[in-house]
A and B are shown apart, each in its own frame.
Chain A
Amino acid sequence: MDEEIELAFTLNGKAVRRRVPVRLHAVDLLREVFGLSGPRVACEHGICGACTLRVDGQLARGCLLLAPQLEGTDVWTIEGLTATGEIADLQNEFHARNAMQCGWCTAGMLITAAEILDAPAPMDRQAIREHLSGNYCRCTGYQAIVDAVEATRQARAAGRSAA
């Protein structure tokens, strides 16, 4: 039988504790044990970004991490980031531009994009494209996503300078 360990970490702001098989991937842990459906897999090889998580403030690939590696960490998924409202503006810009078609890549895109929304240095479209280049989207052709990220960055920057 699978070897198991006791795992404790923070998930979307709440402390959680579970016994889990050591061979479980982080993305499967979140989907199967915690019932989340935001994190998804497309490539299972660290290429596509569908499984993107925020772990201790950094982007992480849920398909490359094993569940035990989450011990003691602070993990956020799209469910948590939606609930706190942290990226509501970005989600609205995505919606207005139809930057999500089938939606499979969307959570990973949003989490990846969230990382650069407050980056103070100016960022041109190419730099935004580079930042998103670890996230595969087969539907949109990327432009609407880049537009949404750019617009959100500008709106936040304008908000900051107005404040």
Chain B
Amino acid sequence: MNRILREAADTPAIGAAVPRPNGRRLLEGRGRYVDDIALPRMAHVAFLRSPHAHARILAIRAETARGMPGVLDVVTGQDLAETVQPFAGLLVHFKGMKSAQQRCIAVDRAAWQGEPVAAVVAETRRQAEDAAARIEVEYEPLPAVGSLAAAAEPGGMIAQPELGDNVCFTREVEGGDWDRAMAQADLVVERSFRFPRHTGVCPEGRSVIGDWNPADRRLTVHISHQAPHMIQDCYARLLGLSESDVRVVCPDVGGSYGIKTHVYGDELATCALSMRIGRPVKFVADRLESFLSDIHNRDHAVTAKLAVKRDGTILALGYEGTQAIGPYSVYPRTSVVEGNQIANICGQWYRLQGYRAKVRALFTNLAPYSNYRAVGHPVAVGVTEGLVDAAARQIGMDPAEIRRRNLLRDEDFPLQTPSGMKFEGMSHHRCLDTVLRMMDYDSLRADQAEARRRGVYRGIGLASMIEITNPSAMFYGVGGARISAQDGCTVRLEPQGGIMVLHGCGEQGQGTETIFAQVVADAVGVPMGRVRLVTGDTDATPYGGGTWASRGAGVGGEAAWQAGRALRKSILDLAATIHQRDAAQLDIRGGIVVDAATGEQVTDLAEVGRVAYFRPDTLGGVRPELSVTRHYLPTQYAFAFTNGILACHLEVDPDTGFMKLLKFWAVEDCGKVLNPLLVEEQMRGAIVQGIGPTLLEECLYDERGQMLNGSMVDYLVPMAAEMPDMEVAHIETPTRESAIGAKGAGEAGTAGAPAAIMNALNDALSPFGAELTEMPFTPERILRALGKS
């Protein structure tokens, strides 16, 4: 009996809270990460790293190391200088930026503590480490720039002497009518802020296997990374190979958060070493190496001001910020995107009449610095929202009320902001109203007043925000970086009726593959269980940018939708030919081709597959195209901006300086919500990554550029006991640029959490007249602000 299917799909997958099919293997210990891969004849490399932040390398003596058990090769930077090209992150749209050229292993001079100076390849990692410990390096220590303050000191030390000064990049932005706006101001609040240097602490250290096969003249790179095609392009050019000589495979990735979007010298050297010895070589960064050589971020010192009227009208925002990058601009995304994004977005979600921003990136001899989750946003949101609350306190207005008066309104869109950003559509006021309702704002305020009478200090903090997602080619492409802004997806009907999806965006735990399976299932008209995914292999998938800048769902998802729709059309055309029907009158529902009007089964996908692949001779010249590829690139807007609001409730003990986070709320508008379960979990994880550097995390260095807390014993990260519960809600303002309407959702929590905590803390401390703007907010700093230490 034929089935009757009336609905477009029995249960549409898009919008459903579908758990991740690929999560099962992770729950059973069956994940396969780079370190789980063992290839025949695989050797291991250990790097010897500079103990000095800045030193001339006078001599390297490796004879003893060479003779140690199991050692296959020992190299210095000089040994690889001929075969591996130097690199620096320089993009032409960042006008005037400069950087020294970086080597995969230092040549003559080490510019940060942790820069590789030699490498040992041996049969086992232990043998490689034992031998590396026996290499003798003679250093002449040089003056080092060990902090942001040292980098900014006029006439001070220079991190890269050949450059003449420490300035990598500066940019000034002005928009609206600054003077007019300032002239109307009743008061101007001005504050200094400090955002600490911190790092990603991916649970899985950076990992790579370079596998050069001299017989095929081919390098296969198994790497824990977010952007396989970018690695293919960069490695091919830096190693003197053609693109097709390099295959990049990204298996399961144990946390990435932006840390794994860069080119790292040690990983590149691992591949060069495989080419030298003609065997696979594995490198896995241990925890100390991760702290010293993963990219760091933030490290911002800011002064900023907000001009307001007494009635609460916000008029203008002025920002001046300096960031301490490392000794090189990191390749290929640079080290200046953080500051540049701040200049683009700071304060732009308010109805500003005037805006000025000045950003500056300075070289130091600290670890390399580049993009990590929510690039620039925690600073931009922290500064803006901190100033808004400071202004509210000064004029005696409720923080919710000042936001209500000044946030961009629905009717303001589309618009171009004073900084030049184009906004398509946002929902600030609906987000504000929703969060106030969720947290029962008035009761919390009543509770706060009551608690204060008992000597208990609770604070409530709001942080409105925007987030850059779905970047177009304006992000990197225009600057000359070969980092794809478009993404491609192939969707294929299998002979037995299954659907295979090959996609340029991969998975690092966000749920990317699940999203694509949902989208393709609905686009074609099959149950999600029929869809299989292949990602993370440059040999298999269409060319794409990968998963970063919250682009997977919005850009990658649209490519998947377009490909799925095209395949659906092919299937319907074919079914129409086979059954001599009009394709326009057919539909695919639940994997069955039906008569669209009656829902009566015409055929199923396995039957279509059988005819297409095994009996195409019966089709009378019709050539079915059942592998379809579509590419998608946003072009109307440089970015799809999302918006949202975070709220934090906390309690501070003024005697000890200890703070307890009681609860978080978040309302996010990431456009069409493709999978609420995954969006909410992105939000929660991102909030906790925002809490980390606000309360705990900081890369501490002494003035000579020696890292003081390079282990998880000393570098504190958020653990379960101190973290709050977080309630999440959604507002949907889909982007009209794509059919699926999704924007990104990966970073908003990290962007907004520091501001929400800062505002809650200062709200709690307001009876004491104390205010903190220097993160992390340690008990010591809180006591100092209270005049108690």
Contact = CB atoms under 8 A, between A and B. Distances in A.
Interface of A: 1-2, 23, 36-40, 42-45, 47-48, 50, 77-79, 82, 91, 94-98, 100-107, 110, 125-126, 128-130, 132-146
A6 to B, nearest CB: 20
Given A43-B711, A77-B29, A133-B720, A143 B684 contact: yes
A91 B509 contact: no
Interface in B180-217: 200-205
Given A102-B509, A103-B23, A43 B681 contact: no
A132 B712 contact: no
A21 to B, nearest CB: 8
Contacts of A82: 27-29
Nearest to A101: B509
Interface of B: 19-20, 23-33, 35-36, 69, 126, 200-205, 252-257, 286-287, 508-511, 677-678, 681, 684-689, 711-713, 717-723, 725-726, 749
Given A37-B30, A42-B712, A104-B203, 18 more contacts: A37-B36, A43-B712, A50-B203, A82-B29, A91-B28, A98-B19, A101-B685, A102-B508, A102-B509, A103-B27, A107-B29, A129-B720, A138-B255, A140-B681, A141-B685, A141-B723, A142-B720, A143-B726
A91 B27 contact: yes
A-B CB proximity, top 6 nearest: A38-B29, A103-B26, A101-B509, A102-B509, A104-B254, A78-B29
A110 B27 contact: yes
A82 B749 CA distance: 33
B287 A42 contact: yes
A154 B200 CA distance: 35
B122 to A, nearest CB: 13
Nearest to A135: B720
Nearest to A144: B681
Given A77-B29, A102-B255, A44 B203 contact: no
A133 B254 contact: no
A94 B24 CA distance: 9
A138 B684 contact: no
7 contacts: A42-B203, A95-B23, A101-B511, A104-B254, A106-B27, A137-B203, A143-B723
Contacts of A142: 688, 718-720, 723
B725 A42 contact: no
A43 B719 CA distance: 14
A103 B689 contact: no
A136 B28 contact: no
Q: Which of A2, A103, A140, A146 has the most CB of B within 10 A?
A: A103
A102 B681 CA distance: 12
Q: Which of A23, A47, A101 has the most CB of B within 10 A?
A: A101
B253 A102 contact: yes
Contacts of A96: 19
A47 B722 CA distance: 15
Nearest to A105: B203
Contacts of B721: 126, 129-130, 132-133
B687 A104 contact: no
B685 to A, nearest CB: 4
Contact of A1 (B69, B204, B719, B723): B69
Given A44-B286, A144-B684, A98 B720 contact: no
Contact of B726 (A98, A136, A141): A141
A94 B28 CA distance: 11
B692 to A, nearest CB: 9
Contact of B254 (A40, A77, A145): A40
Contact of A136 (B203, B256, B508, B677): B203
A128 B720 CA distance: 9
Contacts of B687: 141
Contacts of A137: 203, 720
Contacts of B200: 138
Contacts of A38: 28-29
A37 B723 contact: no
Q: Which of B28, B256, B510, B677 has the most CB of A within 10 A?
A: B28
Contacts of A136: 203, 712, 717, 719
Contacts of A2: 126
Contact of B202 (A77, A97, A133, A138): A138
A118 to B, nearest CB: 19
Q: Which of A91, A134, A141 has the most CB of B within 10 A?
A: A141
B288 to A, nearest CB: 8
B199 to A, nearest CB: 11
Given A37-B32, A138-B202, A95 B19 contact: yes
A126 B304 CA distance: 39
Q: Which of B19, B29, B252 has the most CB of A within 10 A?
A: B29
Contacts of A138: 200-203, 255, 257, 685, 689, 717
A79 to B, nearest CB: 5
Nearest to A38: B29
B723 A129 contact: yes
Nearest to B691: A141
Nearest to B37: A37
Nearest to A133: B721
Contacts of B27: 82, 91, 94-95, 100, 103, 106, 110
A48 B203 contact: yes
Contacts of A44: 286-287
Q: Which of B24, B287, B678, B718 has the most CB of A within 10 A?
A: B287
A101 B511 CA distance: 8
A139 B255 contact: yes
B255 A36 contact: no
Given A43-B712, A48-B712, A132 B32 contact: no
Contacts of A102: 26, 203-204, 252-256, 508-509
Contact of B287 (A45, A103, A125): A45
A136 B255 CA distance: 12
A145 B719 CA distance: 12
B129 to A, nearest CB: 11
Nearest to A87: B27
